[in-house]
Structure 1
Amino acid sequence: MPAFVATFRNSRGKVESLTLEAADALAARRDLRRRGIQVDSLERRSASSAPQPSGSDTRGTRKASRLATLLEGRPGIREKAVFASKLAALVDAGVPIVRSIELMAQQQKLPLFKRALQGISLDINQGVALGPAMRRWPQVFDKLSVAMVDAGEAGGVLDESLRRLAKLLEDNAKLQNQIKGALGYPVAVLVIAVLVFLGMTIFIIPTFAGIFDDLGAELPLFTQLMIDLSSLLRSPFALLLVGALAAGVVLFLRYYATPHGRRRVDALVLRLPLFGDLIQKTATAQFCRTFSSLTRAGVPILMALEIVREITGNSVISDAINQSRDDVTQGIPLSIALASKQVFPEMAIGMLAIGEETGELDAMLSKVADFYEDEVGATV
């Protein structure tokens, strides 16, 4: 009788595996289901017939895979939202999951996304569930998407989980676009102003400087400073200034790439007037919306916290969520754990505490997300 290796997640969200004997894969899944185990993947022990991760990289091809990902481009949040929405409609209509993925692959225009869907289709045909098959393509599907699909498959409500995922991704995309729009205008104005200033200083002011020299008149202090600045920018010394500025930018980026530097800069950003408040409100809305969707879909709280900490975009807030996750494992309520970190507004923490007390955590978090999304919209 052939042996099968099953992988699954325990009640704490950690991956475990066990080996069992069965006549075939279907019998093995039935046996595991009777034991109350929701299987992520099931593979024959024989190396020749075991399903291989079509989306995984070997050491020799990892660099080539990164280059291919860079050239082909990662799918954006909107592309993934459309995928989840269409797949939900197909599943709800009763189309088999393998056929649904094949149809989506045929319609997909992005090369990387298309390859991922083709690989997922092959994996499913070999006995791998949709969630674990998606997990093998981390360059396309993040932990959030995989967790929502896992929860939907476990609860037998895959179509509903996919619709929630699509709605969540659309909300996040809308929020990101609001932030980009709010920041894009002042940045564009600043860049244009700097270019106009440099153009006037380098090309126009020298013309007036020659006229003033011919007149021999004493110039006001500000006018003289502008003429001196124009002379400086047209001198070889300007190249040194440009080089120093470029070196400063490179050093800053290298410092920001370190964990310590990223925390210091992100902490400073949160203290900036107006901008820091906007970042905090955005992170609060994303945290509440995503955490609510995950817990409503049946994802364990610890796993949900692990996922949401990666989407905040600020290392200080991410570290606070991670520390709160550790506190929750020790029996501390989430609201108390987050309150001690002081990274989220008091109102959000208070609403979270009420949700815990009433057993309506996901509904309360959804309301908090609505409120702070409106706040972000009003701010921008």
Structure 2
Amino acid sequence: ASLPRNRFRNMKFVYDGFDAQGERQTGLLEAASKIDALRELQRKAITPVELKPQESRKAPSLFSPRLTRQHITQALHELTRLIESEVSLAESIEAMTDAGHHERIDHAFVGIARALQHGESFSAALSASGLPLPDYLLHLVRAGELTGDLAGALKRAQEKMEYDERTANELRNALTYPIILVIAGIAAVLLMFMVVVPKFSGMLDKNASDLPWLATAVLSTGTWFNANWQLLLGGIVLVTFACLTALRQPAIRAGLVNWLTRLPVIGGWLTETDMASWSYTLSAMLACKVELLAALQLSTGSMRIPRRRAAMQEVIRQVRAGKSVSIALDETQTLNRTGINLIKVGERTGRTAEMLASLASLYEENSKNRMKKLLALIEPVAILLIGSVIGVIILGIILAITSVNDMAI
């Protein structure tokens, strides 16, 4: 497939100058380059004072929709298809300036097209585009430029971004029901304490000494909730703000993630997910002929568990010292025996990238299974806890009513 060359190579230039009679002339003309635009003005006997390209699209506004990873992935997919169809890079970039994916993306491709016209490489222009791109994408593009397989590099980067997006979506979808369940349970408990329990608080004033301890505790708690709800609300807001502030601190966040990895079920799930991301990234890097140490460093950046990232830094140090990746992973106990055997086979056969891709699929499948087990535990535990709290409240109210009736008899 090919695209009309004039449609994408011609640019619009705004000029300001004087004609042969000395009268001022301003206007707009189309030309393939600035030199061609100057020749066109010379043919019209116009001496330019100013000649500059017209911006084909305004800068994105503050109120434009939020740029998501999905927008970037879709744009990369379209760009990859154009290059795979043997459309030149310059024409492909020009086509993307008006693709309509997102204002920021279209504006970024305008800047990339201008940078290419000035002789910059695509990787450098992409890096300076201002788009929130992962580091591995830029390295894959540089490797694609060096090997002459830019379309393949972009395709692998796009597949890795789609994998990350798919993993995040699966996690969000899986946690939606448990989160709604927990929120609904908390709301039900608060409703019981703030609406139902206070209606029986009069029993506490008249028969406090004769009520069972559970009834006294439930009625006292409901009375306190109603008398101090502003204080309770302020405390919840304060604790939430403090937790969010603490989680923004890298050291606290790293400590929390490391602690979670030591928990049963949760730890295994987080570890499998982390290693799947590492294997997928390293496979894409090696398939694009990225140098081994650089590929290991970049793939380590995709890991989210700090202590495993630190262990991988030791692997990199040993590889730099001359050891193979499989031996370094074995000595640091970073991977299980299956993963190490796959990488060892890949090193012997020269198919390390393929073995890592298989390992990533294996880890991804194991991660999904562990996530299902985790969710199977969260739902009944949440229902049990919430039901127990509501049951205790109802039992306390029933004990209060029966105690008052016994006293009346």
* Whole-angstrom distance in 2 between the partners of 1:265 and 1:340: 26
Change in Cα spacing, 1:189 to 1:146, as seen in structure 2 (3 Å) is: same
Q: Which of 254, 257, 260 does residue 251 from structure 2 map onto?
A: 260
| 1:295 match | 286
Change in Cα spacing, 1:216 to 1:222, as seen in structure 2 (3 Å) is: closer
Superposed displacement of residue 286, structure 1: 0.9
| 1:163 match | 155
* Whole-angstrom distance in 2 between the partners of 1:148 and 1:83: 16
| 1:285 match | 276
Amino acid paired to 2:94: E
| 2:363 match | 372
Superposed displacement of residue 361, structure 1: 1.2
C-alpha contact (below 8 Å) 1:144/1:307 kept by paired residues: yes
Matched, 1:306 2:293: no
Superposed displacement of residue 367, structure 1: 0.8
| 1:324 match | 315
Question: Considering only aligned residues, what root-mean-square deviation do their CA atoms show, in Å?
Answer: 2.8
* Whole-angstrom distance in 1 between the partners of 2:323 and 2:102: 45
| Paired residue secondary structure (2:98) | helix
Consecutive unaligned residues in structure 1, runs of 5 or more? 1-64
Change in Cα spacing, 1:91 to 1:242, as seen in structure 2 (3 Å) is: same
| 1:197 match | 189
| 1:347 match | 338
| 1:93 match | 85
| 2:126 match | 134
C-alpha contact (below 8 Å) 1:266/1:314 kept by paired residues: yes
* Whole-angstrom distance in 2 between the partners of 1:141 and 1:365: 23
* Whole-angstrom distance in 2 between the partners of 1:109 and 1:76: 11
C-alpha contact (below 8 Å) 2:208/2:216 kept by paired residues: no
Matched, 1:79 2:71: yes
1:200-219 matches, within 5 Å, as 200-210=192-202, 218-219=210-211
* Whole-angstrom distance in 1 between the partners of 2:368 and 2:292: 29
* Whole-angstrom distance in 1 between the partners of 2:63 and 2:276: 33
Superposed displacement of residue 339, structure 1: 3.9
Amino acid paired to 2:352: L
| Paired residue secondary structure (2:221) | helix
C-alpha contact (below 8 Å) 2:204/2:219 kept by paired residues: no
Superposed displacement of residue 199, structure 1: 1.5
* Whole-angstrom distance in 2 between the partners of 1:239 and 1:342: 52
| 1:45 match | none
Q: Deviations over 1:9-37 (max 9, x none)?
A: xxxxxxxxxxxxxxxxxxxxxxxxxxxxx
Q: Deviations over 1:351-373 (max 9, x none)?
A: 22332333321111111111121
Q: Looking at CA atoms only, which structure, 1 or 2, has the larger radius of gyration? A: 2
| 2:116 match | 124
**Alignment length (residue pairs):** 313
C-alpha contact (below 8 Å) 1:92/1:159 kept by paired residues: yes
C-alpha contact (below 8 Å) 1:124/1:130 kept by paired residues: yes
Change in Cα spacing, 1:300 to 1:70, as seen in structure 2 (3 Å) is: farther
| 1:21 match | none
* Whole-angstrom distance in 2 between the partners of 1:226 and 1:69: 55
Superposed displacement of residue 217, structure 1: 9.3
Moved more, 304-313 or 290-299: 304-313
1:212-291 matches, within 5 Å, as 218-236=210-228, 238-291=229-282
| 1:177 match | 169
| Paired residue secondary structure (1:107) | coil
* Whole-angstrom distance in 2 between the partners of 1:302 and 1:282: 22
C-alpha contact (below 8 Å) 1:292/1:365 kept by paired residues: yes
1:37-52 matches, within 5 Å, as none
Change in Cα spacing, 1:127 to 1:273, as seen in structure 2 (3 Å) is: same
* Whole-angstrom distance in 2 between the partners of 1:187 and 1:312: 25
Amino acid paired to 1:336: I
| 1:152 match | 144
Superposed displacement of residue 203, structure 1: 1.4
C-alpha contact (below 8 Å) 1:101/1:121 kept by paired residues: yes
Q: Deviations over 1:105-130 (max 9, x none)?
A: 20134222222111111111111111
* Whole-angstrom distance in 1 between the partners of 2:363 and 2:287: 20
| Paired residue secondary structure (1:299) | coil
If the length of structure 2 is used for normalisation, what is the TM-score? 0.69
Amino acid paired to 2:295: A
* Whole-angstrom distance in 1 between the partners of 2:345 and 2:62: 45
Amino acid paired to 1:77: R
Superposed displacement of residue 261, structure 1: 2.2
C-alpha contact (below 8 Å) 1:148/1:165 kept by paired residues: yes
| 1:336 match | 327
Identity of aligned residues (%): 23
* Whole-angstrom distance in 2 between the partners of 1:262 and 1:219: 47
* Whole-angstrom distance in 2 between the partners of 1:200 and 1:226: 10
* Whole-angstrom distance in 2 between the partners of 1:220 and 1:351: 65
| Paired residue secondary structure (1:145) | helix
Change in Cα spacing, 1:189 to 1:111, as seen in structure 2 (3 Å) is: same
Matched, 1:110 2:102: yes
Superposed displacement of residue 193, structure 1: 0.9
| 1:46 match | none
| 2:179 match | 187
Amino acid paired to 2:309: S
Q: Deviations over 1:210-245 (max 9, x none)?
A: 367678794443333222221222233x54455455
